[in-house]
């Protein structure tokens, strides 16, 4: 059985992948529909650093700046309360040494 040429990863691509910075690799690991944590406050949406959201899409910056994510935020009972677009640097993996908590949303 012959392996299709487009299924073979070149040494150049492998080398390129391994030269990304640690931050870029961590950002690349975020997958759609996983829970993520905000690393910045978003006062215009009453969201705070540490709030949990679901990553629902990756977006390219239109003029070459930092790419971003579209996030959906839910309240404690699972109702969608916001859909926001943020830079990649505003999102991180949930820490393994943390516990989720509930806070009231300011109106």
Chain segment 21-77, per-residue pLDDT in tens: 444 444 457 999 999 999 999 999 999 999 999 999 999 999 999 999 999 999 999
- How far apart are alpha carbons 53 and 66 in whole angstroms? 20
Chain segment 28-38, per-residue pLDDT in tens: 579 999 999 99
Indicate whether 47 belongs to any domain. Answer: yes
Give me the CATH number covering residue 63: 2.30.30
Indicate whether 9 belongs to any domain. Answer: no
Range of the domain at 40: 31-96
Domain tally, the chain: 1
Indicate whether 90 belongs to any domain. Answer: yes
- Residue 36's nearest CA partner among 81, 78, 89 is 89
Tokens (6 digits) for 36: 């993520």
Chain segment 85-104, per-residue pLDDT in tens: 999 999 999 999 999 999 99
Indicate whether 15 belongs to any domain. Answer: no
- How far apart are alpha carbons 20 and 32 in whole angstroms? 21
pLDDT of residue 91: 97
């Amino acid at each position: 059985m012959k392996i299709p040429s487009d299924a073979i990863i070149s040494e150049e691509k492998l080398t390129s992948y391994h030269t990304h910075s640690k931050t870029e690799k961590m950002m690349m690991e975020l997958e759609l529909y996983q829970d993520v944590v905000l690393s910045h406050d978003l006062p215009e949406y009453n969201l705070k650093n540490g709030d949990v959201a679901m990553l629902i899409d990756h977006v390219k910056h239109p003029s070459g700046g930092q790419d971003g994510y579209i996030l959906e935020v839910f309240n404690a009972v699972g109702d969608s309360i916001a859909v926001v677009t943020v830079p990649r640097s505003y999102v991180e993996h949930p820490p393994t040494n943390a516990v989720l908590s509930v806070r009231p949303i300011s109106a």
